[in-house]
């Protein structure tokens, strides 16, 4: 597994367009790999004054073209990729980690008895936090309500595909805080396969960083 980071230039017209229509990033990421297409997790992060595209993948990528298209024009590689497996091997029961997750918290509400439910986004902070609390155990970790926060909540509205396809509306919520690993196998799967809906559009990627207790 590999974790890659690409610096973006939000001032470029193409980058501004992709930030508003994340399906454009999805296509550009796929071009960074050869061979059969695989599902790659990705997320947009703004840290300080810089905007980054993070990608978790099974294969080592080449994001030179993506960096040239969306990255700064001031030269340099604009991206880096490193092995993810050393971190994954450090996952163990009871491990305390600082985490960041951008996900699509939803609920399915049937309009009539017996019919398939309509998927709706959780729009309040309390329900957004409860959504993650409800899913923690089956994804291999635990957390308390006071140990994490919602850092950002925004709607993504764009058209699927590059030729003006059907409209897509997704709620993007970013969480940050502390979690404890309860099942290393499940948690490692969550780190590599994601959590929730909308993975093709930059949602579902959970990343962790060591704390003083690790």
Residues 6+ apart with CB under 8 A from 6: 52, 53, 55, 63, 66, 67, 70, 71, 78, 79
Q: For position 100, which CATH number holds?
A: 3.30.70.1210
Task: State which of 31, 56, 83 marks the end of a domain.
Answer: 83
The predicted-structure confidence for 97-119, as pLDDT tens digits, reads as follows 999 999 999 766 666 555 555 65
Distance from C-alpha of 172 to C-alpha of 19, rounded to nearest angstrom: 13
The predicted-structure confidence for 120-138, as pLDDT tens digits, reads as follows 556 688 889 999 999 999 9
Number of domains in the chain: 2
Task: State which of 83, 113, 147 marks the end of a domain.
Answer: 83
Q: For position 36, which CATH number holds?
A: 3.30.70.1200
Q: Is the pLDDT of residue 140 over 80?
A: yes
**Residues 74 and 167 grouped into a single domain:** no
The predicted-structure confidence for 150-166, as pLDDT tens digits, reads as follows 999 988 887 776 566 77
**Residues 129 and 185 grouped into a single domain:** yes
**Residues 28 and 126 grouped into a single domain:** no
**3-class DSSP state for residue 111?**
coil
pLDDT at residue 115 in the model: 59
Q: Which domain holds residue 203?
A: 88-210
**Residues 126 and 193 grouped into a single domain:** yes
* pLDDT top residue among 36 and 70: 70
**Residues 78 and 100 grouped into a single domain:** no
**Residues 47 and 153 grouped into a single domain:** no
The predicted-structure confidence for 1-44, as pLDDT tens digits, reads as follows 999 999 999 999 999 999 888 888 988 999 999 877 788 999 99
pLDDT at residue 117 in the model: 57
**Residues 16 and 75 grouped into a single domain:** yes
pLDDT at residue 47 in the model: 83
Task: State which of 83, 100, 134 marks the end of a domain.
Answer: 83
């Amino acid at each position: 597994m590999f974790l890659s980071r690409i610096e973006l230039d939000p001032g470029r017209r193409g980058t501004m367009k992709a930030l508003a229509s994340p399906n454009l990033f999805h296509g550009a990421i796929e071009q960074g790999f050869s061979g059969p297409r695989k599902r790659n997790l990705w997320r947009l992060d703004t840290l300080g004054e810089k905007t980054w595209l993070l990608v978790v993948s099974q294969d080592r990528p080449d994001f030179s073209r993506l960096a040239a298209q969306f990255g700064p024009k001031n030269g340099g590689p604009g991206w880096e990729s490193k092995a993810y497996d050393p971190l994954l091997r450090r996952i163990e029961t009871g491990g305390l980690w600082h985490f960041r997750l951008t996900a699509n918290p939803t609920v399915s509400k049937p309009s009539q008895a017996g019919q398939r439910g309509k998927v709706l986004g959780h729009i309040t902070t309390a329900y957004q936090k409860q959504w993650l609390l409800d899913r923690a155990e089956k994804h291999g970790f635990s957390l308390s309500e006071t140990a994490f926060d919602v850092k950002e909540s925004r709607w993504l509205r764009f058209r699927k595909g590059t030729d003006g396809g059907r409209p897509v509306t997704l709620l993007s919520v970013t969480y940050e805080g502390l979690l404890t690993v309860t099942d290393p196998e499940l948690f490692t799967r969550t780190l590599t396969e994601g959590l929730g809906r909308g993975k093709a559009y930059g949602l579902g990627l959970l990343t962790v960083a060591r704390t003083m207790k690790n």
